Structure 1
Amino acid sequence: MKTLYSVAFVLFILVSLSFTSKTTVKENTLTATFIGLTEDDYYKFEDENKKIVLFYDLNEEIEIGLYDDAFIGKKFTISWVEKEIELMDDEGELTGEKKKVKSITVLTLIK
């Protein structure tokens, strides 16, 4: 009887895990030149087609500090993902409003 309960419990867990939603994150790659920071502290890049791309943040493991003006005009290979953030008002309170932004996961300087 104990074995029957164990088997039923394992089957229940397997079935419940199969119904959990799986989030697929698409990582994108692009080569672009760093232009600088915007007034809102977005990282501004320009690709080969002169298209401007803004990035919200960098992965904390990236060692390149884009606040250094020495990187302006340098070309980078950028891997990024899109994520959703919650917006804040002027006092720093969350508004409940959400926005999709680009987040840099890997940043490589092209020499």
Structure 2
Amino acid sequence: MNATQQHMLDLYRTAQHGEPAPPAPGRDDWQAVREFRTWREFRAVVDENTATRRARWAALLRLLRPAARPTGAAPARTPSLSSSAARRDAFQESVDSRSDVLGRPAQCG
């Protein structure tokens, strides 16, 4: 018996007894997810081991994540493209330099 069939049976039984109908299945799913997140955050504060473990995990991920650019480095300047022909050439150059997942040049056509 799936959840819909069980709900229909519960509706029938409550109608026979004159009781209020139960909520539909899946109605409070997002509320349950939010409550679980809140409970997990509470446990992380109360349980120092969990908070320490999460801090270590976050530090490890920061080390493994590649840095976009070193701190203090000046951002790369892009040349100013004033004419539409120059923009078109720059776009075509970027399209030509693309490659697929295996590193082969992309075929435009």
**Which structure dedicates a bigger proportion of its chain to strand?**
1
TM-score (norm 2): 0.31
Q: Which has the higher contact order (CA 8 A, sep 6+)?
A: 1
**Which structure dedicates a bigger proportion of its chain to helix?**
2
Largest Rg, 1 or 2: 2
TM-score (norm 1): 0.30
